[in-house]
Amino acid sequence: MTYPATLEEKAGLYLKAMHEVRARLRCVDDLLNRDMAPLLIDEFCQLQLRLSCECLAIACLAAQGDFETHKDLRERYQPSLIFKALEGLYPAFFPTPSILQPTGPGSWHFDDVGRGHAITREEVEQIWNLSGDRLHRASVKRYLQDVKQTDLLAVCNAKERFWNLVLDHMVVLADQVSRLHVHVERETEDIRCHFLFLDLETGTSKVQAFDIEVE
């Protein structure tokens, strides 16, 4: 197996993960409008949110990870473990809401609209941990004692906060001066992204579109 090594290859894997997150969040959108027993809706949604958390964690690793050096991360899928490992090497690894808007020829502006309404690293870890309890009964004793209660409003809120991060966000890359900006269309299949290469001496940046077809 060949792991992504170049900036473009890592970005390609990142976008593939974002494509899957979008598909799973759309599934939650659909499930919440189904005429179905609330318990079943909750369980199906919990599964999709759980897997969305794992995809987001893999995306964060893809953007930063040196897969040859960090061999122990190749098999990890738990968000908390991946985040903890990345945090020690790349403190700003987690994506932040950011809208990239052109303001003139060769000039761009970043708008952080959505900050405060987007899902956080802590919430991703919490969703993943709690969803395991929701989906696994583990024993007859627990099955007999467990009274399943659903909170579809909480599920909807988590889903929307996830959307608020995914739709427009920016990732600080491993060199700490380059950025990957990603725009995900909620209703269509379009995903657009740009590399931003900052020049700290002049205070300017070069913006380069990155196009890839995600299967």
Rg (CA), the chain: 19
pLDDT band at residue 122, thresholds of 50, 70 and 90? very high
pLDDT at residue number 70: 62
SS (H, E, C) 27-61: HHHHHCCCCCCHHHHHHHHHHHHHHHHHHHHHHHH
How many other CB atoms sit within 10 Å of the CB of residue 39?
11
Distance of alpha carbon 90 from alpha carbon 117, whole angstroms: 24
Q: Is 34 helix (H, G, I), strand (E, B) or coil?
A: coil
pLDDT at residue number 115: 58
Which stretch of DSSP H or E encloses residue 108?
A: strand 107-111
Residues 6 or more apart whose CB falls under 8 angstroms from that of 28 comprise 45, 48, 49, 155, 159
Q: What tens digit of pLDDT does each residue of 28-51 get? A: 999 999 999 998 999 999 999 999
Distance of alpha carbon 93 from alpha carbon 63, whole angstroms: 8
Q: What tens digit of pLDDT does each residue of 71-89 get? A: 666 677 789 999 998 888 8
pLDDT at residue number 45: 95
Q: What tens digit of pLDDT does each residue of 145-196 get? A: 665 678 899 999 999 999 999 999 999 888 777 889 999 999 999 998 888 8
Instruction: Considering only residues 69 and 93, tell me which one the structure prediction assigns the higher pLDDT.
Output: 93
Dump strand ranges (E) for 23-98: 96-97
Mean pLDDT, residues 95-107 taken together: 76
